[in-house]
Structure 1
């Protein structure tokens, strides 16, 4: 099956997972995005497959900013490399 990618708010995650499964889209990878390491996540990234078997891999968190407000090394790599 094809892939479906989604970026959404984590507070809606239970509803999102229910709706995806009802639509025949099986979440395969999930990653929470945190603005700062000491804050709550403000985004969830999902990779889903149509008709896939149930198996979800939770990826390590993605932190956007260092304490001083600069991008983390991972974000710099994503944006600039």
Structure 2
């Protein structure tokens, strides 16, 4: 079960990090920083969404990895 937890968390976080990089990369106007270089509300919103996606992804992949590695011989 520890292996399933480790795999699930790693894959879930990797997916969330990929989503974060894609969101920042596809932002040519750089809406996340104002003229002074300070973070904007858009960056705070993206951060909140990222934490939700990371948690859900890690949870789902943990469940999937746990199911795949469980003993289903009965």
TM-score by length of 2: 0.30
Larger radius of gyration: 2
Flag the structure with higher strand content. Answer: 1
TM-score by length of 1: 0.28
Say which structure, 1 or 2, has more relative contact order (CA 8 Å, 6+ apart).
Answer: 2
